[in-house]
């Protein structure tokens, strides 16, 4: 059977919706409560207009950028998302191989269905960061930090917006859990004697709701790796992040999966960039679906953006090749949007390109 060519990210979304089981699709697509914030992550880009410049000689364009001093092919990476083996048998191994080929950053989730060791073995030259939670048993977090540092991961991404898991109604209705043949491989064998009920394959008591700014210093005492905080949405917390010596911020609302009614991430970006004033790098995730979305985020000050659900759709479509296709389409759309806006390289993208609509 001939499968029509995929020409944009929504084509991959439609394929995934048709081919994944309903509980798995619902898990990936879920937002918290009424999904207002999840949906606004997308709609917010439509309120932003571009102000293109013309006659700028865009016969040669360069999409290369750097994050934490490392060069990547274009300023789009893969955000941390859990359980890739639900979408494709190779799971995170396919994602890692695709991002290595494309030469961009892959943030590996703590809740991977492949271990960090397995991921490094199949893509030894990939540029990777590791997403971390803080657990009640701090030794769990500490062991993970030491493992990924020894494996050559280049940064830690501390997720700070999950003191408790948001209410995702479809997961509750579906009684979603990992099938027996899959495990959260980074914790393999650690919870066999746990008596507490599990949430997504990990005992629900493990996340520590008492996490606070003092834990940044604790984490810094464990590692020399740069620390990036994921989940900041306000200028006040951005300032505190700088004061606590982290190297980066990911402006994120967890794909709208945590607090419903919070702002779209693109709407928070400017105030955080203005607060940070270049002292640390600012990144963003949430709602990126086109190359012009990437351009808008960079014009508002993001150093790089990260995609979550679209990577899963690519996996569901064709594994490693599907993830590469998603990234390649986004790359070419970004290059075209740059050129049509009069930008020859990433350094020329700035806030003069942006007009916020009153729609």
Q: Give the single-character DSSP code of 128.
A: E
List helix spans (H) across 158-264.
169-174, 214-222, 235-243
Instruction: For residue 232, give the nearest of 209, 254, 260, 256 by alpha carbon.
Output: 254
| Contact residues for 310 (Cβ-Cβ < 8 A; gap 6+) | 9, 12, 13, 288, 289, 326, 330
User: Concatenated DSSP letters for 31-75?
Assistant: -STT-HHHHHHHHHHHTEEE----SS--SS-B--EEETTEEESSS
Known catalytic residue at 331: no
Q: Give the single-character DSSP code of 346.
A: G
What six digits make up the tokens of 208?
């520590």
- Among candidate residues 181, 217, 244, 254, the one labeled active-site is 254
Reported as half-sphere exposure (CB side, CA atoms, 13 A), residue 67 has a value of 31
CA distances from 329 to 86, 212, 287, 324, 339 (A): 23, 39, 16, 8, 15
Contact criterion met (CB below 8 Å) for 211 and 234: no
Give the whole-angstrom CA distance, residue 107 versus residue 129.
5
Give the whole-angstrom CA distance, residue 62 versus residue 71.
12
Handedness of CA 64, 126, 230, 278 (dihedral sign): negative
Four-CA torsion 243, 248, 249, 255, nearest 10 degrees? -150
Give the whole-angstrom CA distance, residue 105 versus residue 62.
18
Residue numbers annotated as active site:
254
């Amino acid at each position: 059977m001939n499968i029509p060519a995929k020409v944009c990210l929504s084509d991959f979304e439609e394929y995934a919706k048709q081919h994944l089981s309903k509980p798995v699709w619902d898990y990936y697509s879920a937002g918290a409560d009424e999904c207002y914030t999840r949906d606004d992550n997308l709609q917010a880009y439509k309120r932003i207009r571009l102000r293109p410049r013309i006659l700028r000689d865009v016969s040669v364009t360069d999409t290369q950028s750097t994050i934490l001093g490392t060069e990547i092919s274009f300023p789009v990476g893969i955000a941390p998302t859990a359980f890739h083996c639900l979408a494709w048998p190779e799971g995170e191994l396919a994602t890692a191989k695709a991002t290595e080929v494309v030469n961009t950053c892959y943030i590996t989730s703590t809740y991977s269905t492949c271990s960090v060791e397995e991921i490094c073995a199949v893509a030894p030259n990939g540029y990777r960061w590791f997403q971390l939670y803080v657990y009640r048993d701090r030794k769990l977090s500490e062991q993970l930090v030491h493992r990924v540092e020894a494996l050559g991961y280049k940064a830690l991404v501390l997720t700070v917006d999950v003191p408790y898991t948001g209410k995702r109604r479809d997961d509750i209705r579906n009684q979603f859990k990992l099938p027996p043949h899959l495990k959260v491989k980074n914790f393999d064998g650690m919870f066999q004697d746990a008596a507490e009920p599990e949430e997504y394959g990990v005992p629900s008591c493990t996340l520590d709701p008492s996490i606070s700014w003092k834990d940044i210093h604790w984490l810094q005492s464990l590692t020399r790796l740069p620390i990036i905080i994921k989940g900041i949405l306000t200028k006040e917390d951005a300032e505190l992040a700088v004061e606590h010596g982290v190297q980066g911020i990911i402006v994120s609302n967890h794909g709208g999966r945590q607090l419903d009614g919070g702002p779209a991430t693109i709407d928070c970006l400017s105030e955080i960039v203005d607060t940070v004033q270049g002292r640390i790098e600012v990144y963003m995730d949430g709602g990126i679906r086109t190359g012009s979305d990437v351009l808008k985020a960079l014009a508002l000050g993001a150093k790089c953006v990260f995609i979550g659900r679209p990577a899963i759709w690519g996996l569901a479509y064709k594994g490693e090749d599907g993830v590469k296709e998603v990234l390649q389409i986004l790359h070419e759309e970004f290059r075209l949007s740059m050129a049509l806006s009069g930008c020859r390289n990433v350094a020329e993208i700035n806030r003069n390109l942006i007009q916020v609509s009153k729609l």
